[in-house]
Chains A and B, each alone.
Chain A
Amino acid sequence: MHNNLLYIILPYTAFTVAVVFTIYRYRKDGFSYSSLSSQFLESKELFYGSVAWHFGVIGALTGHAIGFLFPKSVLWFNGVPVRLYILETTGLLFGLLALVGIVSLTVRRATSSRVRAVTSKMDVVVVMLLLIQVSLGVYIAVFYRWGSSWFVTSAVPYLRSLWLLQPDLKMIEPLPLIIKLHIVNFYLLLIVFPFSRLVHMLVVPLQYLWRPYQIVIWNWNRRRAQAHAPQPARQPAGVASSADEHAAEGRPVFTR
């Protein structure tokens, strides 16, 4: 019974809460989507904590996602022992990086009075959950070897069965307690996600890589204004604006 509660009802609830409230919060209070960076108040310790944490956790999450999306390829890849070692070590390194990061971020938050001034109750909850999650993850990586292979044959089928709305617990029931804790704690993180600063991961500014540098917003419609205005005197042939020239030379457009 409690298996059903923890591995079927909890995940569906967590997922629904995460999706519904994330969207609700974005529409109702989009303003609150911010990195809430405290670098301005304390920068030195943040460097080690934040850089290690973010790269570590992005690496670890990517690993999990690959296992979930391409289980067969992962198994095939791990068929050669050297490749398995490489994958395992890489995963462990990312995990350790994330652990070092989150520990140092926690210490920083607890010791710097300025950072404490901008720490909310939810921040404490999130940090605790993340500490638990990453510690469990690293522990599992060290003591339950070859996780990259057994993960895709136990947890992945279970997660996929949830996804297909045909929950099937038989693959995870025999798993050790530690691993089950890692799974349940993940659901708890999903539940707090929309109510915490974690939402900032949804607004990562990748579009910056290809937008023009300068942004101009008109409060009138320039095309319509141009249509109503007197027609321009003819420009002498060959006179183009510098913006045209840059476009023609294939250089990135600077402004619009």
Chain B
Amino acid sequence: MDVRLQMAMVFHLDKCIGCHTCSVACKNVWTDRKGAEYMWWNNVETKPGTGYPTAWEDQQKYHGGWEQKNSQPDLRMGRRELRVLNIFHNPHLPKLDDYYEPWTYKYEDLFDSPEGADQPTARPISMITGNYVDIEAGPNWDDDLGGSPVYAANDPNLDSLTEEERAQVFEIDRLVFFYLPRICNHCINPACVAACPSGAIYKRGEDGIVLINQEKCRGWRMCVTACPYKKSYYNWSTGKSEKCILCFPRLETGQAPACFHSCVGRIRYLGGLLYDADRLLDTLHVPDDKLVESQREMILDPRDPQVREGALRNGIDARALEACERSPVYRYVKQWKMALPLHPEFRTLPMLFYVPPLLPVMAKSEDGLYDTANAELFSPIEKARLPMKYMASLFAGGNQELVRYALKKQYAVRMFKRLDTVGDVDAAAIKRGLEQLNMTGAEAEQIFRLTALPLFDERFVIPSSHREQALAMLNEDMWAEKGGAGFGFRAAPVRGA
């Protein structure tokens, strides 16, 4: 057993209001720079929809992620030798136009235009060339356009549906959509790391954060193709690739990442997970629809004495273990089985999990009202508005049972609390429902608390990183570092000649 610690995340989609505050927080802190204007390390997209970059989930087009080849996974982007030759021209690189051309407005014209019969306007200009542009796409271009035949209809996940089911999704008076905020998943089997010819991308042993060493990156752009989530971006100005860093400078000082901290819907949870790195290849050696469970298996119980022993042996200290015990992510993912990874079939073992949204699923009931009177507690879920197949294609590698279970659990908790507060539901039906899900009233209460009323430090349980100890272990002599100026860039990262 090789026990490792991973900073893992849960996004509770039922709570996301699609406000994009997270995206803006991230943009302000990290990507408001030349060459990075078009990057949204955090973006929020509407589902059904095509997302950012357009149709990123379509791996026929982008060739990202892994394929299982017998017992060993290999990158979908072609043979290893060929990848080295492809540095001259990467055949599967997404282009700027797959994202959008970043623009600003020529505000000076508002002030400097000569007097005339017309009001001056500020025309849009490209942030790359400075030329006038017609704006044709943006990072959330299909925001809220859940029913649009131009955008939503091209959602790759709809491929799994029959014609009839598709028609249902687009019935105009029953339109439904939800928001999907996305950041880098800080995967256990990151495709970006595996694809980097320079070996510049690495996973941090102490917390699993995946980083690109800007000094070592030579701009071969293979990670951009390899990441199936398109969360590694090429900076066209510096000639280096960049990605979400999970705000590690904030984490190391005990603060939540900017997007987590600012999240208005409080949908985001962050905490440690322990996993067994030795099981990596075995975990992946299963068919797509078994991947979620297999990944859950890989996650270890921080209270198990054997696990604790293994953790200590790997340098994970007792205080970090204590934080893992309180991890909200462990509860949602492993204990409650309510949070699922996005597109597990890409086989990167993503460490960001989503609680699938209940509301749009439920909205099918007649007259827009929820049917709470039915004796069968879960009948509204069986009549789901968004086909379960669609949800399973997003979150479970096609395994509908897992999504259904997660939704039923949310619904059961809701009804359980309704019994408490409103009292107009059948207590016996709720009891039956909880039993069906193997859930106690106490667990329902816990889920309710962590979902609806969590405090800041219940949502974010950040093990302290103890860099001072790490330093002591690396260097024999701590005094050598005394008065040091720290690590990192001493000059602005500007493009070479």
Give bound CA distance, A155 to B86, whole Å: 34
| C-alpha spacing A194/B36, complex, angstroms | 27
Partner of A195, one of B2, B204, B219, B497: B497
The answer, yes or no, to whether B206 is at the interface (CB within 8 Å) is yes
Q: How far is the CB of A78 from chain B (nearest CB, A)?
A: 30
B205 touching A31, Cβ below 8 Å? no
Within 8 A of A (CB), among B199-244: 199, 201-206, 214-215, 217-221, 224, 234, 236-240
Q: A35-B220, A113-B129, A246-B281 are in contact. Are A219 and B470 (CB under 8 A)?
A: yes
A242/B280 contact (C-beta < 8 A), A35-B87, A122-B497 known: yes
Q: Chain A contact residues (Cβ within 8 angstroms of B): what range?
A: 35 or more
Q: Which residue of B lies closest to A241 (CB)?
A: B278
- A96 — which chain B residues lie within 8 A by C-beta? none
At the interface, yes or no: A5 with Cβ under 8 Å from chain B? Answer: no
Render B164-196 as a binary contact track against A, CB cut-off 8 A, 1 for contact.
000000000000000000000000011001101
Report if A79 contacts B (CB, 8 A). Answer: no
Given A34-B240, A242-B280, also A41-B80 (CB < 8 A): no
Name, among A215, A219, A230, the residue most crowded by chain B CB atoms within 10 Å (CB to CB). A219
Which positions 9-36 of chain A face chain B at CB distance < 8 Å? 29-36
Give the complex CA separation of A114 and B89 in angstroms: 17
Q: Among B83, B310, B467, B493, point to the contact of A31 (Cβ < 8 A).
A: B493
8 Å CB contact of B239 from A34, A50, A117: A34
List CB contacts (< 8 Å) of B467-497 with chain A: 467, 469-470, 473-474, 489, 491, 493-497
Answer whether residue A248 sits at the interface, using C-beta atoms and an 8 A cutoff: no
Could you tell me which residues of chain B, from 1 to 17, have a CB within 8 Å of some CB in chain A?
Answer: 1-2
Asked if B424 is at the interface (CB within 8 A of a chain A CB), the reply is no
The docked-state distance in angstroms from the alpha carbon of A209 to that of B81 is: 7
State whether A214 touches B313 (Cβ < 8 A). no
Contact residues in A for B129 (Cβ distance below 8 Å): 113-114, 116-117
- A174 contacts the other chain (CB 8 A): no
A200 to B239, CA, bound (A): 11
Q: Which residue of B lies closest to A205 (CB)?
A: B197
Q: Which residues of B contact A251 (CB under 8 A)?
A: 71-72
Does A207 touch B at the CB level, under 8 Å? yes
B89 lies within 8 A of A242 (CB): no
CB–CB B201/A215 < 8 A:
yes
Chain A residues whose C-beta falls within 8 Å of the C-beta of B91 in the assembled complex: 47
Contact across chains for B198 and A113 when beta carbons are under 8 A apart: no
Of A131-139, A141-149, A156-164, A220-228, which binds chain B?
A220-228
Does B309 sit at the interface, judged by CB under 8 A?
yes
**Docked CA distance A208–B469 (Å):** 33
User: Would you call B89 and A47 a contact (CB within 8 A)?
Assistant: yes
> A40, B88: Cβ atoms under 8 Å?
no
A214-B89 contact in complex given A195-B497, A208-B83, A226-B314, C-beta closer than 8 Å: no
Q: List 23 A-B contacts (CB under 8 A).
A: A31-B493, A34-B217, A35-B239, A36-B239, A116-B129, A118-B237, A120-B495, A197-B497, A205-B218, A208-B199, A214-B189, A214-B193, A215-B201, A216-B202, A216-B204, A219-B204, A220-B206, A226-B313, A232-B309, A241-B1, A241-B278, A246-B281, A254-B72
